[in-house]
Amino acid sequence: DTAVSQTPKYLVTQMGNDKSIKCEQNLGHDTMYWYKQDSKKFLKIMFSYNNKELIINETVPNRFSPKSPDKAHLNLHINSLELGDSAVYFCASSPDRGREKLFFGSGTQLSVL
Amino acid sequence: AQKITQTQPGMFVQEKEAVTLDCTYDTSDQSYGLFWYKQPSSGEMIFLIYQGSYDEQNATEGRYSLNFQKARKSANLVISASQLGDSAMYFCAMRDFNTGTASKLTFGTGTRLQVTL
């Protein structure tokens, strides 16, 4: 069983479209995250939710909106996609806010044409 | 603000040799954790090893060990007996343990390791 699963693995779309990436974890963790990895492989946090509550919201355009229907799911919706949104988006989870390692999903490669 | 620095964009090592990947960090927190992740060409992020700031002994996990020098703020990863499958990007990361604030993992820019025959 995959611990943190995100879909789709690849997403190719045109500029201006709206798209969503879904993430689910079956580890019983309280905290989930979205990270963005750019073309230079740099990983940066975007959002974090703890028990459906938004706890981290980095400087991200408001075209990006996370939604957590329950603590096992954290979806990422992106409006009006731009070329610069092309990246790999990783979902992750951890047991609590602090000390534990993050478990990552396999990533979603988003290409905006 | 936290900062992680990995000064080696790329490293080569011969199979069966040991290699050290450098990581320095900057934080004003007393309580924090240091992590290393591996990202092979397939793209997934694989946890390797963890060191807490109050841990007195260096962490070890199989062929991986973390050379933790708190005064120098360094947390170098040592891979012993390198294997071809170790070829990947390696990321150092830090997490602060401040209570009352949301804790996030801050990553370095990564080191690409290539293991050669």
pLDDT digits (tens, 9 = 90+) for A55-97: 888 878 999 999 999 989 999 999 999 999 999 999 999 887 5
Q: Which residues of B touch A110 (CB under 8 A)?
A: none
pLDDT above 80 (res B101): no
Mark out the alpha helices in B1-117 (DSSP H runs).
none
The reply to whether B54 touches chain A by the CB within 8 Å rule is: no
pLDDT on residue B100: 47
- Supply A55's token pair: 């706890």
Q: Give me the percent of chain B exceeding a pLDDT of 90.
A: 81
Measured between CB atoms, which of B50, B99, B105 is closest to A45? B105
Report the C-alpha gap between B77 and B75 in whole angstroms: 7
Report the C-alpha gap between B96 and B101 in whole angstroms: 9
Q: Which residues of A touch B105 (CB under 8 A)?
A: 33, 45, 102
- Of the pLDDT bands very low, low, confident and very high (cuts 50, 70, 90), residue B23 is very high
Report the C-alpha gap between B115 and B21 in whole angstroms: 13
Over residues A22-36, the mean pLDDT reads 94
Q: Which residues of A touch B52 (CB under 8 A)?
A: 99
- Of the pLDDT bands very low, low, confident and very high (cuts 50, 70, 90), residue A44 is very high
Beta bridge partners of A99: none
